[in-house]
Amino acid sequence: MLTDLDSALSYLGNLTLIEISTVKTDDTETVKYYFVTPIIADLLKEHDGLMSNEDTLKKTGFPLCMGSLSPGNDKEGITSFSVIPAEAGIHSLKVNFSDKLAGDYYDDVVNNFDGGLTEHEEAFYHYHKARVKEKINEIGSRLSRYYYDSSLYSAAFHYCKAVYELLGLESDLHVLNYLGLILQLYCDLDGALKIFLEVEKITKAKGDKQQEGAILSNIGQIYHVKGDYDSALKYLLDSLKLSKQINNKKGDGVTLNNIGEIYRVKGDYYSALKYMRDSLKNSKEIGDKQQEGITLNNISLIYDAKRDYDEALKYLLESLKIAREIGDKQQEGAALNNISQIYDAKGDYDRALQYLLESLKISKEIGDTFGVANALFNLAALYEATGKPAESAQCLKDVTEINKTLKSYEVSQALKRAGIEG
């Protein structure tokens, strides 16, 4: 029988039931960490009194320190380890858990041992509990960007929200920007606008023209969705001016496309195409594949409106290919939806339905409320054209319900054209 904790933990380490890591603290001393899961912790407590009830082992990633750390509080006001050497007897050992120290461990793994996503998340978890603001901002920004760029918007929102609820407007600007974008995606336009307007003030005060330009473009997009095209154009032109001042080619590409979209919905296809072609050229020059795919999609809408369906389909297939290559699920859903409309216009209803259902599935998976509403509205028209009035009516009912929260001007106008107030 194993009668002391150090021997028991070493035995469990040999069985790979726990992880043991030795970290050098200075030239002469090392500290040993035991990472114990809750199940193993419970077994240790129950096994012949090997661990007394007073001892604490918490969440996966608990670092049990066997060495010469002093009792007391660290600079962050978080209880540090209080350790009696193992040879003094198992029942005399008492450990106080430190989220700060656990965060430091995982952060060290990330920075010095090529730690991956799990280590980032563990570091964030512990730093958040310990309220280490600088690290919460730093790691939260990385995680939110990773998940947003991977189209895992609910996970990105989780980290943005966790940072924002603790730090408010002291949150990293990238976190605030992603938070606003996801709120917009989730159809909370007023919440997104509130965040963006606050960030605009912060970027102006800091003199951060690149971030200010990005936020101005985002504000313009909110007004676009609300149907206030004059306000949208004002913010977008201000954004473009800033981008050109600092030679921000990526910002140029995004904003040129967004300005083109304003002209497109106003029916000025000549101006729309001019801005979008400039955006496309810019995006190709700097290798911005995401913006290239978005702009290709929007150019297709102009050719669709002109009933040049073959040209529209050419641009859409290019857009879809890029979206799939880079994993942009939101853009993939949009391209699939628009491809369906080309086949619908050509009378190929089977293929139109296939693309629409695929678009709807993706939009639902990622929480793209506008994408869901758009696909459902087009499904309603398709069902009506193919003699399925009950299915059509249900789709329109669903769109009307969604738009009570979405409050999209374009969706409202589409519903009015269908004879529905929504």
Digit-coded pLDDT (tens) for 394-420: 999 999 998 888 788 888 888 888 888
pLDDT of residue 39: 58
Alpha-carbon gap, residue 66 to 71, rounded angstroms: 13
pLDDT of residue 26: 59
> Does the global pTM surpass 0.85?
no
Q: Among all chains, which residue has been given the structure tokens 């509205």?
A: 377
Regions of the chain with pLDDT less than 70:
1-6, 15-17, 19, 21-97, 421-422
**Token duo for residue 149:** 């760029």
**Token duo for residue 239:** 């954004």
pLDDT of residue 10: 75
Alpha-carbon gap, residue 98 to 100, rounded angstroms: 5
Alpha-carbon gap, residue 235 to 223, rounded angstroms: 9
pLDDT of residue 167: 96
Q: Among all chains, which residue has been given the structure tokens 């021997």?
A: 7
pLDDT of residue 115: 82
pLDDT of residue 161: 96
What is the CB-side half-sphere exposure of residue 262 using CA atoms within 13 A?
24
pLDDT of residue 228: 95
pLDDT of residue 68: 28
Widest distance between CA atoms in the chain? 85
Closest CA to 333 of 369, 295, 386: 369
Task: Report the DSSP beta bridge partners of residue 35.
Answer: 19, 63
What is the CB-side half-sphere exposure of residue 194 using CA atoms within 13 A?
7
Where do the domains of the chain lie, and which CATH numbers do they carry? 5-97 (no CATH), 102-185 (1.25.40), 368-422 (no CATH)
For residues 209 and 200, is the Cβ–Cβ distance under 8 A? Answer: no
Q: Write the CB contacts of 237 (distance below 8 Å, at least 6 apart in sequence).
A: 259
The radius of gyration of the chain from alpha carbons, rounded to an integer in Å, stands at 28
Alpha-carbon gap, residue 257 to 288, rounded angstroms: 13
Alpha-carbon gap, residue 403 to 419, rounded angstroms: 15
Closest CA to 256 of 242, 235, 277, 229: 277
pLDDT of residue 98: 81
Closest CA to 31 of 61, 66, 57, 62: 66
Q: Write the CB contacts of 190 (distance below 8 Å, at least 6 apart in sequence).
A: none
Q: Is 49 helix (H, G, I), strand (E, B) or coil?
A: coil
pLDDT in tens, 161-197: 999 999 999 999 999 999 999 999 888 999 999 999 9
- Cα-based distances in Å from 2 to 33, 104, 290, 321, 359: 19, 31, 59, 61, 60
Q: Is 24 helix (H, G, I), strand (E, B) or coil?
A: strand
